[in-house]
Amino acid sequence: MDILNSLHVLFPVSGVKTYIFIPPLVALIVSFFTSMGGVSGAFLLLPFQMSVLNFTSPSVSATNFVFNIVAIPSGVYRYLKEGRMAWPLTWVVIIGTLPGVFIGYYLRVLYLPDPRTFKFFVGCVLLYIGIRLVYEITGKAKVSKTKMKALEDKFKERAKQIKEQQSSRIASGLPPEAVVKTVKASFTRIEYEFWGERFSFSTIAMFLLAFVVGIIGGTYGIGGGAIVAPFCVAVFHLPVYTVAGAALMGTFLTSIAGVFFYSVIPAKAGMVTSPDWLLGFLFGAGGFVGIYLGARFQKFVPQKYIKLMLGIIIISLALRYIFQFFIK
C-alpha cells in the first residue's frame, strides 16, 4: 500500500494528481489502436485529461502537443522504414496546417477560453466524417471500390505469405511494389503509385483542408491527424496504408509549432498556457510504444477494420462534443 501511495504524484503545472503509471498506460492502449489509421491518439487523450484528470486550462492543449512530439517519432520511423510515406501529401498537410495552428492558438486563448461552442462545430464535422467512414464498410456505398479492393487483396495475400514463412513472428519487410512512388507533384495536382495502383488528389483542396484542420488542432492540441486521415480516406479516396504515415508526420511537425506558440506567445494575465512537460512526457512515453506497435501491426489488419475503428472513435467524440453544447 505504501508503494502504491508513493506512486501517487502531483503535477504542479497542471494541478493533476494521479498514479504515475496511469498516463503512459492509457496512452499506450489508445495509441496502439489509433495509430493504425494515422491518428496519434491525442484526440482521445484530451477528453481523458479534461474529464478524468480535471485538467481544463488552455495548458492542456499545449500538453497534448508534447504527447505528440514524444510519441509520434516511433510510428513515423516505421512508415519511413517500410517506404510508406507519401511525401507530397505529407508536405501539403504540413504547409497547410502550420498557419492554421497559429490562428488556433489565438482562438483558444483570446476568443475561446470556454471551448463549448467551438467543440460543437468540431463535433458536427467529425460526425459527418465518422458516419461516412462507417457507411463505406456497409457494402451499400455505390462508389466504385475496384482499386481499393485490389489493394486490400494484395495486402491480405502478402500478410498470409509472411505468416506462413515466419510462423508467429512479425516481418517488417514489404515487397518493392508496396513502396509509395511519386508520379506527379504540382501546385494543382499530386499523383502517386502504391501496390501498382495510382492515386491522385487536388493540391489546393488538400491545402485548404489542412489549413482548417490546423485551426481546429491548434485550438485543442490534437495535431490534426484525427481529421486529416479519415477525410483523406473518405473524401479523397486515398488508401489508409499511405495516409497514416503522412498524417502522423504532419501531426508531429505541427505539434512542435503548437508547443512553441503556447510557450512563447503572451496570453491574458493569469492564464496558464505553457505545457505540463512532465505529464506530457509520460503520456508521450506510453504513446511512443503504442504508436510503434500500431504502425508495425497495421499492415496485417484489413482496411475495413481500420475504417470501422476510426469511425467509431470519431463518432463517439463527435457525440460527446455535440451533447456538451446542449448540457449546461
pLDDT value, residue 303 = 65
Q: What are the pLDDT digits (tens) for 314-326?
A: 898 889 889 988 8
* Domain range for 71: 2-326
> How many independent structural domains does the chain possess?
1
Tell me which H or E stretch contains 199. strand 197-202
Distance CA 82, CA 290 (A): 18
Mean pLDDT taken over the chain: 81
User: Nearest Cα to 148, choosing from 40, 236, 76, 85?
Assistant: 236
Q: What are the pLDDT digits (tens) for 264-320?
A: 988 777 788 899 999 999 999 998 898 888 877 876 777 677 778 778 888 988 898
Q: Count Cβ atoms below 10 Å from residue 125 Cβ, excluding itself.
A: 17
Q: What are the pLDDT digits (tens) for 58-101?
A: 898 899 999 989 888 887 887 788 777 888 899 999 999 999 99
pLDDT value, residue 27 = 92
* pTM, to two decimals: 0.78
181: helix, strand or coil:
strand
Quote the cell numbers at residue 171.
516481418
